[in-house]
Copies of this chain bind each other. A is one copy, B any other.
């Protein structure tokens, strides 16, 4: 069951980097939704390799084929299966890798866990798996949008270049105007320069994605183990290369005293709201109607074009210099994946909340 996510709107993904394709099955999608195929294509385009000079040059057209669950363009309430076929797979690139473990990749751990592995492009452990999440996320986003819920992710840090302000300081519509997906155009240029510099050196760099969810009504999320932030954290840490998650004031929270960062309630023209939003829109695991925001830290891509020490399958020390096409920085392409997982999470909780209504 480790390949499934969600309690009611439940996505199961399948597929490997260099197998036939990456796909998924969505069980529990509400019926009678007219699926906007174009908006799915847009999300895939945002995640697609080769979209700019700072992403891998692997070419994938990433066309989604729906296998079930739609009739005359509408969801029927039955499982929606889909596949995005792989095209540009150079399996020959991976002969050496089948015999040596790439540092900080999943080669070694898969080998130990399963006693074998598909070495072609990392097989199941490849970030190409996230294409399925973007398809499901696009469907979820569409349903959320009809409920007035919008999700906006952006790159807030690359290497040491970081945005100092919170999401409220930026015009998030700017995000998609540059290759790094940063709402601050000046910082965006700095980030892009840094990525190109690192790339020229055959190296890679990490960063942080900030994600903002607007319009979630109060009362969404479940207590105790399925707190909204707990499920978002699981969702985000399930993304390849993610190293951390926090929400609201997050890791800065220890710097505030209780009286400083408590979000006091006020009556805003008949609506109960909070004066500040250190809580990140979540209290006790349940949304309070304010904007939800969180951060996800990503490490630098493990594939560097430099010679590295490693060992063979049998433990003999050796060196490895990976060739091929890889992202110098995962950030721009991670933004739509973060948004997709947020969309799936929020929609699932919205559907769970229906249980409480008479």
Are B223 and A265 in contact (CB-based, < 8 A)? no
Report the contact-size class of chain A (Cβ under 8 Å from the partner).
35 or more
Q: Which of A10-18, A52-60, A167-175 contacts B (4 or more CB under 8 A)?
A: A10-18
A283: which of B2, B104, B358 is its contact (CB, 8 Å)?
B104
Q: Known contacts being A3-B78, A14-B68, is A284 close to B205, with CB within 8 Å?
A: no
Q: Is the CB of B68 within 8 A of A23?
A: yes
Instruction: State in angstroms the CA–CA spacing of A113 and B288 once bound together.
Output: 10
Q: Which of A309-323 contact B (CB under 8 A)?
A: 309-311, 315-317
Any B CB within 8 A of the CB of A351:
yes
Q: Do A244 and B246 have beta carbons less than 8 Å apart?
A: yes
Q: What chain B residues lie within 8 Å of A297 (beta carbons)?
A: 246, 250-251, 253-254
Binding site of A, secondary structure by majority: helix, strand, loop or mixed? Answer: mixed
| A279: Cβ under 8 A from any B Cβ | yes
- The answer to whether B243 and A237 have CB atoms under 8 Å apart is no
Which B residues lie within 8 Å of A310 (CB)?
A: 264-265
Query: Is A125 a contact partner of B284 (Cβ separation < 8 A)?
Result: yes
Flag whether A257 is at the interface (Cβ < 8 A).
yes
Contact B114 A258 (CB under 8 A): no
User: Among residues 78 to 119 in chain A, which have CB atoms less than 8 Å away from a CB atom of chain B?
Assistant: 78-81, 83, 101, 103-106, 108-110, 112-118
- CB contacts (< 8 Å) of A103 on chain B: these are 262-265, 274
Is A50 located at the chain interface by the 8 A CB criterion? no
CB pair A20–B68 under 8 Å, yes or no, is yes
Quick check: B247 and A243 within 8 Å, CB to CB?
A: yes
Among A77, A120, A204, A231, residue most surrounded by chain B Cβ atoms (within 10 Å): A77
Say whether A245 contacts B237, CB under 8 Å.
Answer: yes
Tell whether A186 is near chain B: CB-to-CB under 8 Å. no
In the bound complex, what is the Cα–Cα distance between A260 and B28 (angstroms)? Answer: 36
Question: Which stretch of A36-44, A155-163, A176-184 is in the interface?
Answer: A155-163
Interface: A31 (CB within 8 A): yes
List of 7 A-B pairs having minimum Cβ-Cβ separation, nearest first: A106-B284, A244-B246, A2-B222, A204-B258, A2-B226, A109-B286, A234-B234
The 11 listed contacts between A and B (C-beta, < 8 Å) are A3-B225, A31-B115, A31-B116, A32-B115, A105-B283, A202-B259, A229-B243, A234-B234, A264-B310, A265-B310, A354-B357
